[in-house]
Amino acid sequence: MENLIALLVAAPLVGAALLLCGGKRLDRTGHLIGTLFSVASFALGAALFADMLGKGAGDRTLHQQLFTWIPVGGFRADVAFQLDQLSMTFVLLITGVGSLIHIYSIGYMAHDERRRRFFGYLNLFLAAMLLLVLADNYLLLYAGWEGVGLASYLLIGFWQHKPSAATAAKKAFLVNRVGDMGLSIAIMLMFTTFGTFAFAPVFAATDRTGQGTLTALGLLLLLAACGKSAQVPLQSWLGDAMEGPTPVSALIHAATMVTAGVYLITRSGAIFNAAPTAQLAVVVVGAVTLLFGAIVGCAKDDIKKALAGSTMSQIGYMILAAGLGPIGYAFAIMHLVTHGFFKAGLFLGAGSVMHGMNDEVDMRRYGGLRKYMPVTFVTFGLGYLAIIGFPGLSGFFSKDKIIEAAFARGGTEGWILGGAALLGAAITAFYMTRVMLMTFFGEKRWDPAEVHPHESPKVMTIPMIVLAIGSVFAGGLFSINEVFVKWLEPVTSFAHGHSPVSATTVTAATMVVLVIGVGIAWGMYGRRPVPALAPRGSLLTRAARRDLLQDDFNHVVFVRGGEQVTGTLVQLDRSLVDGAVTGTAASMGGLSGLLRQLQTGFVRSYAVQMLGGAAVLVAATLLMRGV
């Protein structure tokens, strides 16, 4: 079976090549071809999964060595794959949710002229993302990492005729470069330290490596994760990335690509376990981001941006869990999978609403839509219940475990982290209820003469229904007998955390904050009519609307600062470097003009010069012997 791993990546890659190089003759069938390759990859993944389940827990890891990519002296880069329980989880998530979103896009993008290209990019994304999670070494992982960055860039800017989309794509690309730099430096550091960047030998060597190197590696990998997963301080691009078509937001900027940072940290668990300082940085980033994203999500009136804030916040939970070490890895991945279901479902629901509302994204112009879009309402509602952690639904199980693990870190840190996670849960309940109420409840705030809300076609609703089913049951299924934790344990290792507060207390506290969050939202948006124009709001609201001033901060510090540095360097270049160059050139020209005077054109002066030259030559030769 291990020889089939490469096919997982190859299928969508072939699809992308066909669609992007196939030209206009594939315009009419392109969407079907793209979907076919995606589903084929999912089917293969499912077959490999079935095969894996048939083996004992200890020998489920498969390797496939495809070829040696760069063999130069001691430097050896292999194209080799590793399929273990962690990668398997991702493969099923990526190809499963990916296939559903391909199907959804058939309906969503039906009237787009460049639909073939869109599906080509989606396939390209799948191939790169699968490469990222299947690589057995960091260099190949990096290739996938850059590949998903490229696909993300192309898809955010897919509607390139809109300047805002083009700018958003560029912003996402640039911010990601900062993180990518961290990953590339980490890989270089790895090579100089360990002489390799394959997972197994690197992880085996961590106990022989100095604390400083490991901390540096951990921080660099965290920087990479921050870029890709939109964590503070590299979070600014995710909100703008919502300029892309909604299926893209669902697949790349909610379910899969943005979780690559969580994968990276979990995969590099051996490094982080040995570097407590780096781990501390990870949990701090996670805790800060989960609050940051939640606060931003509260203030947004654009439905997709509100969901983007939520994504940021939920990934903050995952990063927090991953930073907790063996007591958290499995829960990070579990939350990642359940989040993949409900957040993709929520985004597809948002897309469905926009589809029916002439692409309107402002929730203040929605209202009372539940009657017009019953399927969307129900699936979105189930996703909503899942994300706020309604008892029995997916989010309840996965988020609860993370909060518990945060307390289990112990000491003051444990209380702070646990408190932040609980506070985040309350805010989540608030902003998601706000989205729900503003969209589906209350009175109509749209003009019936212009807008005719309607339910979306089956090709769009069926994926939403499937994802809603996942949102409801996945968490519960995973938690029966801790089946998910046991499944991942051979890869990520697992330790039961010892929380100072009992599991029951944590659950009860979560329920309480949930009720408080929902209650406040109901009080603000359910009981009172929602104004169609946003009120001015408090200072915090206004700051949150501006993404907590992240762009202003970046502008003042990095853009202005960068301009200052560039300006100074240009000045230096002009005066010093150019001065030296032009000065040299001018002096050479002057010297040339001077020497030219010797060329008089008179043969007599030439002869004299030759005679002088001969005399010098003879004298010099004699002198050399004398010396």
Question: For the range 19-25, what are the long-range contacts, defined as Cβ-Cβ under 8 Å and sequence gap of 24 or more?
Answer: 19/116, 19/117, 19/119, 19/120, 19/123, 20/117, 20/120, 20/121, 20/124, 22/116
The CA distance from 423 to 290, in Å, is 9
Whether the Cβ atoms of residue 1 and residue 91 lie closer than 8 Å to each other? no
User: Does the protein bind other proteins through residue 25 (CB under 8 A)?
Assistant: no
609 lies in the site for other proteins, by CB under 8 A: yes
Look at residue 160 and give its three-state secondary structure. Answer: coil
Is residue 502 close enough to count as binding other proteins by CB under 8 A?
no
Nearer to other proteins, 204 or 588 (CB): 588
Nearest to other proteins of 539, 627 (CB atom): 627
Task: Report whether 247 contacts 558 (CB < 8 A).
Answer: no
CB of 619 to other proteins, least distance (A): 9
> How far apart (Å, rounded) are the C-alpha atoms in residues 469 and 341?
9
Closest separation in Å from C-beta 560 to other proteins: 37
CB of 71 to other proteins, least distance (A): 23
C-beta closer to other proteins: residue 74 or 626? 626
- Rule CB under 8 A: is residue 70 a binding residue for other proteins? no
Q: Is 410 in the site for other proteins (CB under 8 A)?
A: no
Ordered DSSP codes for 413-442: HHHHHHHHHHHHHHHHHHHHHHHHHHHHSS
614 touching other proteins, by CB under 8 A: yes
- The CA dihedral of 539, 545, 550, 555, to the nearest 10 degrees, is -90
Contact at 8 Å (CB) between 475 and 394? yes
Question: Judged by CB under 8 A, which stretch of 73-81, 380-388, 528-536, 616-624 contacts other proteins?
Answer: 616-624
Provide the token pair at 244: 């892309």
Query: At closest approach, how far in Å is the CB of 609 from other proteins?
Result: 6
Q: How far apart are CA 115 and CA 105, in angstroms?
A: 9
The window from 182-190, 259-267, 315-323, 614-622 that contacts other proteins (CB under 8 A) reads 614-622
Contact predicate 418/402, CB 8 Å: no
**Which CB, 410 or 590, lies closer to other proteins?**
590
Return the amino acid letter for 376.
T
| Residue 580 makes contact with other proteins by CB under 8 A | no
**612 near other proteins, rule: CB under 8 A:** yes
* E strands present in 52-152: 62-72, 75-83
Q: State in angstroms the smallest separation of the CB of 602 from other proteins.
A: 9
Does an H or E element contain 264, and which? helix 260-267
- Least distance in Å: CB of 247 to other proteins? 48
Span of 191-199, 396-404, 529-537, 619-627 interacting with other proteins by CB under 8 A: 619-627
Residue 73 Cβ vs other proteins, minimum distance, rounded to whole Å: 22
- Tell how far CA 505 is from the center of its chain: 34
Q: How far is the CB of 577 from other proteins (least distance, A)?
A: 15
Q: Considering the complex, state which of residue 67 and residue 602 has its C-beta at the smaller distance from other proteins.
A: 602
Choose among 177, 197, 2, 24: nearest CA to 83.
Answer: 2
What tokens were used for 137?
């070494």
CB 372 within 8 A of CB 453: yes
User: Total residues at the site for other proteins (CB under 8 A)?
Assistant: 27
Question: Distances in Å between the alpha carbon of 382 and those of 400, 427, 468?
Answer: 18, 18, 6
In terms of Cα–Cα distance, which of 88, 137, 85, 91 is closest to 491? 85
Q: Which listed residue (72, 449, 539, 624) binds other proteins by CB under 8 A?
A: 624
- Determine how β-strand 75-83 pairs with β-strand 62-72: antiparallel
Residues 284-303 as x/- pattern, contact with other proteins by CB under 8 A? --------------------
532 binds other proteins (CB under 8 A): no
Read off the tokens for 68: 């040696």
Under rule CB under 8 A, which residues in 585-604 are in contact with other proteins? 585, 588-589, 591-593, 595-596, 598-599, 601, 603
- Residue with Cβ nearer other proteins (392 or 589): 589
Partner residues linked to 137 by β-bridges: 198
**Contact (Cβ atoms closer than 8 angstroms) between residue 140 and residue 131:** yes
Nearer to other proteins, 174 or 611 (CB): 611
Q: For residues 533 and 603, which CB has a smaller minimum distance to other proteins in the complex?
A: 603
> In whole angstroms, how close is the CB of 218 to other proteins at the nearest point?
43
Residue 384 and residue 3: Cα distance in Å, rounded?
41
Cβ–Cβ under 8 Å, residues 41 and 77: no
582 near other proteins, judged by CB under 8 A:
no
- For residue 623, the minimal CB distance to other proteins (Å) is 9
Question: Among residues 53, 532, 565, 610, which is the contact residue for other proteins, using CB under 8 A?
Answer: 610
- In terms of CB distance, is 72 or 627 closer to other proteins? 627
Nearer to other proteins, 575 or 584 (CB): 584
Phi and psi of 81, rounded to 5°?
-115, 150
> Which of 578, 514, 346 shows the shortest CA–CA distance to 440?
346
CB of 627 to other proteins, least distance (A): 9
Q: Which is nearer to other proteins, 523 or 590 (CB)?
A: 590
Residue 322 makes CB contacts below 8 A (sequence gap 6+) with: 262, 265, 266, 269, 272, 282, 286, 328, 329, 332
By CB under 8 A, tell whether 539 contacts other proteins: no
Told to check if 577 binds other proteins by CB under 8 A, we report no
538 touches other proteins by CB under 8 A: no
Residue 533 found at the interface with other proteins (CB under 8 A): no
Contacts 24+ apart (CB under 8 A), 69-78: 69/139, 69/140, 74/195, 75/191, 76/196, 77/137, 77/139, 77/140, 77/197, 78/136, 78/137, 78/140, 78/198
Q: Which token pair is 389?
A: 């952690």
Choose the binding region for other proteins from 75-83, 122-130, 563-571, 615-623 (rule: CB under 8 A): 615-623
Taking CB under 8 A as the binding criterion, the range among 8-16, 193-201, 270-278, 581-589 that sits at the site for other proteins is 581-589
Cα–Cα distance, 537 to 543 (Å, whole number): 10
Q: How many whole angstroms from its chain centre is CA 543?
A: 24
Amino acid at residue number 98:
G
Shortest approach of other proteins to residue 594 CB, angstroms?
9
- 68 vs 600, which CB is nearer to other proteins? 600
Least gap, CB of 588 to other proteins (angstroms) = 6
Residue number, 208 or 596, with CB nearest to other proteins: 596
Site for other proteins, rule CB under 8 A: 585, 588-589, 591-593, 595-596, 598-599, 601, 603, 606-607, 609-610, 612-614, 616-618, 620-622, 624-625
